[in-house]
Amino acid sequence: MDETRDTRPSTLEGLPVELVRLVLAGLPDVASLRATVLSCPIFYGAFQEAEAAIVKQVLLNQMDASVLPEAMAAAESTRLRLHPDAEPLAEMTVAGFMDQNLRNRPAPPTSWSLRDAI
């Protein structure tokens, strides 16, 4: 194996950070973004500095903006904690969820974390 090749910086390291961010923002879905960010320190560093903007663009690449409120409601529904022993509390929890996510169609947030997007 050529030792000089191993010590040269990768082609990615020579790219301006703005181009690396454009590459990340052009990915088709959040799962690809997560895998790419975790694959290389160059991608990770560029992502950390512009996480919200990159995640927002990748979400829009993955789904139409018109369905983001439904996607948000579906994600929020996974966080509901219903207690079968406390039926009135469960009903209040579901009613609050419905008011927040179904009766009022909330606008998508302007900032997403990768964790929330996943």
Q: What is the pLDDT of residues 13-33, one digit of tens each?
A: 889 999 999 999 999 999 999
Give the residue among 62, 79, 71, 81 at the shortest CA–CA distance from 105.
Answer: 71
Q: What is the pLDDT of residues 50-75, one digit of tens each?
A: 999 999 899 989 988 777 777 777 66
Specify whether the CB–CB gap between 28 and 61 falls below 8 A: yes
Specify whether the CB–CB gap between 114 and 37 falls below 8 A: yes
